[in-house]
Structure 1
Amino acid sequence: MTKNIFILLLFWGSMALAQTSQENKIREFIKVTGVDKLGQQGANQMIDMFKENYKNIPTEFWDECKKEVSSDELVSLYIPIYAKYYSESDLDELIKFYKTPVGQKMISIMPALMQDSMNAGREWGQKLRKRVSEKINEKYNYQSPPPPLPSK
């Protein structure tokens, strides 16, 4: 009986250490990629939007609100999500990559790259919609919008 309890405690202890190790790696990954800073920036922008809508509230209040915002809260929310998708070895490789110059470049250009990609996708979607509409009109003599109904 004592042996079984010892084995069970050893198992729980090793699980706790593994979880702590993975949590530490997730925290490092989040820090290396700057996700923690993005969260802080997003919170500050949200407070600034409130500030614009509530102009009669003193600036000191908004400064206080910004001081209360901690990216640690957001990181704590992210830990189980990242743990769901990344193993410790995945995290090791990702951290190693993002610490390289090309990894750092990827982090710095990602917002502009995503914006350019969304713009290109939107333009492509508009052209595709136009081509499909024209093809429907050609093939099925469908006009968009349909012509008005004749008056009685």
Structure 2
Amino acid sequence: MRKSWYTLLLVLSCVTFSNAQGNAEYKAKLKQMFEASGSEKSYKVAIEQMFTMFKQQKTTVPDSIWKQFEGEFLKTSLDDLVEMLEPVYVKSLTQDDLQQLIAFYETPVGKKYASKTPIIMQESMQVGQQWGRKIAMEFQEKLKAKGY
């Protein structure tokens, strides 16, 4: 009986270790994909924008403190984000999928797309807002026509 418990414990330990190792490999690949796709740069820009906002709110904090904090957050935040996003990505993309995306982003067109994505996203958000306003107006007109 005791031997069975040891065997079960050994098997569970191996499974846990292999899953943890698989997660680490997946997270590393996910981080590599973020870097290749230019997402890492976008995240860094977002952090820099947050710090600009914080600086405006807390004007008594010396610049040296802001630089120290910003450096710390830029180093750790991507790792934190990968940790938080891994469950989201693992549901939809395999490690092989991530590798294929990385391969795409390493091509000339992939590099071009990665460099243009922030501009495309910014302009797309503006177009999306216009589209949303248009739909809202049409919806209101249709409700009004129906007497609501």
Q: What is the TM-score with the length of structure 2 in the denominator?
A: 0.72
Q: In the alignment, residue 30 of structure 2 is paired with which amino acid?
A: I
Task: Tell me which of 31, 38, 54 is aligned to 1:34.
Answer: 38
Task: Tell me which of 114, 130, 133 is aligned to 1:123.
Answer: 130
* Count of aligned positions: 141
- After superposition, residues 15-54 of structure 1 pair within 5 angstroms as 15-54=19-58
Q: Structure 1 regions of 5+ residues with no counterpart?
A: 145-152
Q: Structure 2 regions of 5+ residues with no counterpart?
A: none
CA RMSD between the two structures: 2.9
d(CA) in 2 for partners of 1:73, 1:134: 46
RCO greater where, 1 or 2, for CA within 8 Å and sep 6 or more?
Answer: 2
Which residue pairs with 1:66 in the alignment? 70
Checking the alignment, whether the CA contact within 8 Å between 2:27 and 2:82 is kept in structure 1 is no
Task: Tell me which of 79, 82, 93 is aligned to 1:86.
Answer: 93
Computing the radius of gyration from Cα coordinates, the structure with the larger value is 1
CA drift of 1:51 comes to: 1.0
Checking the alignment, whether the CA contact within 8 Å between 1:32 and 1:98 is kept in structure 2 is yes
Q: In the alignment, residue 113 of structure 2 is paired with which amino acid?
A: M
Q: In the alignment, residue 53 of structure 1 is paired with which amino acid?
A: Q
d(CA) in 1 for partners of 2:80, 2:134: 43
Q: Give CA-to-partner distance per residue, 1:27-82, whole Å, 9 cap, x none.
A: 21122123233222222221221111222222112112112212333333333332
Q: What is the TM-score with the length of structure 1 in the denominator?
A: 0.70
